[in-house]
């Protein structure tokens, strides 16, 4: 089983990258983000579980 770590996944570019990678890696994505001015949790609301 392969896992993927995505940093900056809650920003605009990072969240779009995450949405694309989740299709490939399913539940094996780990997202790490500092959640400063650019990070927005709502960017990944469609895949929240």
User: For residue range 4-43, what is the model confidence (pLDDT) as tens digits?
Assistant: 999 999 999 999 999 999 988 888 899 999 999 999 999 9
Selection from 44, 42, 23 nearest residue 31 by Cα? 44
Q: How many CB atoms lie within 10 A of CB 37?
A: 7
Q: How far is CA 22 from CA 2, 13, 31, 36, in A?
A: 12, 14, 11, 23
What is the reported pLDDT for 6? 94
Q: Say how far apart CA 28 and CA 42 lie, in whole Å.
A: 20
Task: Name the 3-class secondary structure at 40.
Answer: coil
- Does residue 1 surpass a pLDDT of 90? no
| pLDDT value at residue 49 | 73
pTM for the whole thing?
0.83
pLDDT for position 39: 93
């Amino acid at each position: 089983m392969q896992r993927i770590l995505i940093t900056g996944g809650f920003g605009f570019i990072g969240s779009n990258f995450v949405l694309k990678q989740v299709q490939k890696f399913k539940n094996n994505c780990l997202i790490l983000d500092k959640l400063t001015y650019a990070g927005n949790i709502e960017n990944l609301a469609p895949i929240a579980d």
